[in-house]
Amino acid sequence: MTNLITLQQRAQQGEKLAVLTCYDASFASLMANAGVDAILVGDSLGMVIQGQRSTLPVTLTDMVYHTRAVAAGAPDTFIITDLPFGSYQASPEQALISASALMSAGAHCVKLEGGAVMASTVAFLTQRGIPVCGHLGLLPQSVNTLGGYKVQGKTDAAAQQLIADAELLAASGAAMIVLEAIPATLAAQITSSIAIPTIGIGAGVDCNGQVLVLYDMLGLGKPPRFSHNFLQSANSLHEAVTAYVDAVKTANFPTEQHSFK
């Protein structure tokens, strides 16, 4: 079974980590057989499964349900689950209760959004045996504050803040950090400045790994610019996921076309 130490060792040895979102047992089993390193049970399910306009309506009950389904389909694959909006921001104690529910459902790591403001929560959780994945850059749960789904870290000040946030999260015990929709050069700087893996989504090829929303990778709906339709040139869903894993592992995805300057 893949575990956190395994993933960190792979990244340290220069192997790219291929991650995909998943929300059910059938796709989880397919991903495990296709060689995905880790599965993210993302609160993106609010948009791609529930038809919501953002991730904000997703509840902890929703995340527990989908985590349990994914864990049943891929029992030997490392599972990261998003802490949904409103389930962890109030206090570290609230985060512990929510994270415990997700871990009991089958998650091996929980993901939360935010930089310095979440550092004490990251430390609180990790000190109690709960691995944490940070999330910096475009924060979908803060879409109303950010004014939409926009590229982050474009100014010098914003870039320096993201670097400082990443270093602080790492120092607080975060196991890895997702970098979303930031300039590729900035993502490379962050990756080289911390000792834990970075997982990019619209953050360039120099991150230690990549993650995409499953439905975007299959070309469903209106995929963002940083995604790619791997089903278009495949003969099956399994072949599409395998092609994604191979493209990530060989650093053929993302290309400049899928990155921001």
Residues tagged in the binding site annotation: 43-44, 82, 111, 113
Confirm if 170 and 132 have CB atoms less than 8 A apart. Answer: no
Instruction: Enumerate the known binding-site residues for 3-methyl-2-oxobutanoate.
Output: 43-44, 82, 111
167 among known catalytic residues: no
Task: Say whether the peptide bond before residue 254 is cis (omega within 30 degrees of 0).
Answer: yes
d(C-alpha 147, C-alpha 38), whole Å: 31
d(C-alpha 113, C-alpha 141), whole Å: 7
**What phi, psi does 61 have (nearest 5°)?**
-60, -40
Where does the chain have alpha helices with state H? 4-12, 25-34, 45-48, 60-73, 92-105, 119-126, 143-146, 156-171, 184-193, 214-217, 237-249
Q: Which residue in 15, 3, 5, 4 sits closest to 207, CA to CA?
A: 15
- Cα 101 to Cα 84, 96, 210, 248: the distances in Å are 12, 9, 26, 31
CB atoms inside a 10 Å sphere around CB 94? 15
d(C-alpha 58, C-alpha 156), whole Å: 34
Pick the catalytic residue from 15, 93, 167, 180: 180
Instruction: Enumerate the known binding-site residues for Mg(2+).
Output: 43, 82, 113
Q: Which residue in 258, 248, 203 sits closest to 19, CA to CA?
A: 248
| Residue positions annotated with a catalytic role | 180
